[in-house]
Every structure is written in C-alpha cells, then in structure tokens.
C-alpha cells in the first residue's frame, strides 16, 4: 500500500467510527422519545378500556387484554434488555476509573470500549428495537381499534 492508500483507509475508518457514534446517539434520543409516547399510549388505552369495559363482549375484553398485554410485555422485555446492555457498558467503562493506567492507555481503552459499544448498538440493539417497536405498535393499535369499535357501537346505539 502506498501512503495515499493508507491515509484513505484511516480516513474511511474515522468516518465510519463517526457515523457509528452518530447513529448510536440518534438511537438513544429516538428511544427516549418513543418510551415517553408509548407510556402515554398505555395510559390512554387503560383509561379508555376502563370506561368501555362493561360495554365490551367477553371476547373483546379478552382480545383487548391480550393485545395490550403482548404489547406491554414486548416493550418491557426490550427495556430490560436495554438496561442489561447499558449496565454492561457502564461496567466496562468503570475500568477506566478504577484501573491504574497512563492517560494514553486510558484514551485508547476508552476508544476501544466506545467503538465496541457503538458496534453492538448498531448491529444488535437497533434491529431488535425496530422489531420490538413494530410488535408493540401493532398489538397496541390492535387493542386501540377494538376499544374504538366499542365507542362507535355506543354512539350507534345512543
């Protein structure tokens, strides 16, 4: 390899590392936003459910409960998974504090740990998040549609 090719490889690696950091950061912000929206949606679903439950058939009560339950279990399972991932990363970063090393070694170790964490987020966590979001949203919307039909029936019979 010539000097120019070596420089291009280093720049490419640097750009890829930057994009990885950006994507991991964007994921963190998007995930926080989604969490707030989902919690609000669950609160709304439970409020609606409590107001129309007596007007639902037994089947609709069970289907609505099942859909809400599946949605919540998927959401909570992902949050627990995320908590484990974050805890693992925090414990790895803890070594930067408790282990004696030179500043250069600490910087190199920090870069390695950050790169590893970003890689894991991009290759594992984000794809799982997308699937979880789809299942959580689909089952949550399914429950909401069932509940809204109860309102529509109530309007039709009023």
The total of structural domains in the chain comes to: 1
Sign for the pseudo-dihedral over CA of 14, 18, 23, 27: positive
pLDDT in tens, 22-59: 766 776 777 777 778 888 888 888 888 888 888 888 99
d(CA 74, CA 116): 26
What's 99's DSSP letter? S
Give the separation between CA 53 and CA 46, rounded to whole angstroms. Answer: 10
pTM, whole model, 2 decimals?
0.72
Q: pLDDT-derived band of residue 11, with 50, 70 and 90 as boundaries? A: confident
**What is the chain's alpha carbon radius of gyration, rounded to the nearest angstrom?**
23
Which stretch, 50-54, 63-67, 97-101, 105-109, has highest mean pLDDT?
63-67
pLDDT number for residue 4: 75
**What is the span of the domain harbouring residue 50?**
3-157
Interior angle at CA 134, CA 76 and CA 141, nearest 5:
85
């Amino acid at each position: 390899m010539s000097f120019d090719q070596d420089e291009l490889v280093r720049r490419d690696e640097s750009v890829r590392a930057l994009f990885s950091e950006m994507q991991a950061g964007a994921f963190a912000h998007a995930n926080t936003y989604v969490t707030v929206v989902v919690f609000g949606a669950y609160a709304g679903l439970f409020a609606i459910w409590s107001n129309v439950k007596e007007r639902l058939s037994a089947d609709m009560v069970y289907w609505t409960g099942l859909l809400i339950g599946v949605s919540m279990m998927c959401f909570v399972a992902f949050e627990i998974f995320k908590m484990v991932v974050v805890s693992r990363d925090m414990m790895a970063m803890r070594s930067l504090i408790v282990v004696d090393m030179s500043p250069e070694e600490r910087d190199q170790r920090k870069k390695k740990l950050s790169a590893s964490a970003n890689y894991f987020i991009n290759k594992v966590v984000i794809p799982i998040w997308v699937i979880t979001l789809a299942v959580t949203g689909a089952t949550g919307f399914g429950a909401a549609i069932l509940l809204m039909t109860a309102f529509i029936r109530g309007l039709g019979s009023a």
